[in-house]
Amino acid sequence: MTPGMSDLFDFDLRKDRYAVMGNPIAHSKSPRIHTLFAQQTGQSLEYTAILVDHGGFSQAVGNFDASGGKGLNITVPFKEEAWRLVTQRSERAELAGAVNTIKFDGKTMYGDNTDGVGLVNDLTHNHQIELRGKRILVMGAGGAARGVIAPLLHQQPAALVIANRTVDKALVLASLFKRLGKIEGVGYEHLAGQQFEVIINATAASLQGEVPPLPDDVLAKNAVCYDMMYGARPTSFMQWAKAHAAAQVYDGLGMLVEQAAEAFFIWRGVRPQSRSIITSLREELITPATK
């Protein structure tokens, strides 16, 4: 039997191809999410995960483009490199200083950043939280924090405070975004006596099972606490929030799905219904499939 062309490659040539690139990448949920989106919307596409060597990112993107790939998601640690590599950027990617979504059209390499809108959509649509007029605290001043500041300011909060262990980084971020709204960069000790209605953890502290040094009385009445990390069990910040009587406590699984939904829309012009996908992923997270 003669093999068909598509048997010679590890992908299906008839389908539009997408992928997520990162390092590490094995545990990425993006292939699962986009496959569910494609099924739900009746779109024919293939989405894979590509492990990229440190130092091999631009080559990997170039190869993917040259082989006819239609779009990429970019994750840790390549988002800033992707920002430098693309030939065009959306305004929100420009401000975020990072690109998590690339669209190829044969000529341009268009870079966008859907992380911030993913967070805002999860908070406002899925959890029905009004951000306008609220006092918001973002913990952390790395890439994760930077990616969400402009979309948060766009919601017109009463105040947006960025707290970071290394205060200088919080000050830099605040000055970078000050033309977009009321924003202040501080160290954690500066939070004494202040209360916030929405507290977002954009630090990597939960990865180490740690919680940033928050004052015990930092939560306003009916406060919402949101960790951009997620896992099968509540993160250390979520446990802290529950112990401090936060009214609502969420992890970042919804943000992950919402940033993917926005990328899917950029590529396909169709917006998936994310709620049922979030529910499926939550079930899979809590009860991993036995092989």
Q: Would you name the residues annotated as active-site residues?
A: 79
Of 186 and 270, CB closest to ligand ATR: 186
Give the residue, chosen from 13, 204, 232, 247, that forms a contact with ligand ATR under the rule CB under 6 A: 204
Nearest to 138 by CA among 101, 99, 94, 182: 182
What is the β-pairing status of strands 109-112 and 45-51? unpaired
Is position 142 an interface residue for ligand ATR (rule: CB under 6 A)? yes
Of 136 and 277, CB closest to ligand ATR: 136
Is position 140 an interface residue for ligand ATR (rule: CB under 6 A)? yes
Distance CA 239, CA 236 (A): 5
Is position 252 an interface residue for ligand ATR (rule: CB under 6 A)? no
Of 156 and 166, CB closest to ligand ATR: 166
Residue nearest to ligand ATR (CB): 142
Of 164 and 235, CB closest to ligand ATR: 164
Is position 210 an interface residue for ligand ATR (rule: CB under 6 A)? yes
Of 47 and 237, CB closest to ligand ATR: 237
CB of 43 to ligand ATR, least distance (A): 30
Is position 2 an interface residue for ligand ATR (rule: CB under 6 A)? no
Give the residue, chosen from 2, 44, 128, 208, that forms a contact with ligand ATR under the rule CB under 6 A: 208
User: Binding-site residue total for ligand ATR (CB under 6 A)?
Assistant: 16
Q: Which of residues 151-170 bind ligand ATR (CB under 6 A)?
A: 164-166, 169
> Using N-to-C axis directions, what is the helix angle for 274-286 and 30-41, rounded to 10°?
140
CB of 123 to ligand ATR, least distance (A): 18
CB of 5 to ligand ATR, least distance (A): 40
Binding site for ligand ATR (CB under 6 A): 140-145, 164-166, 169, 203-205, 208, 210, 212
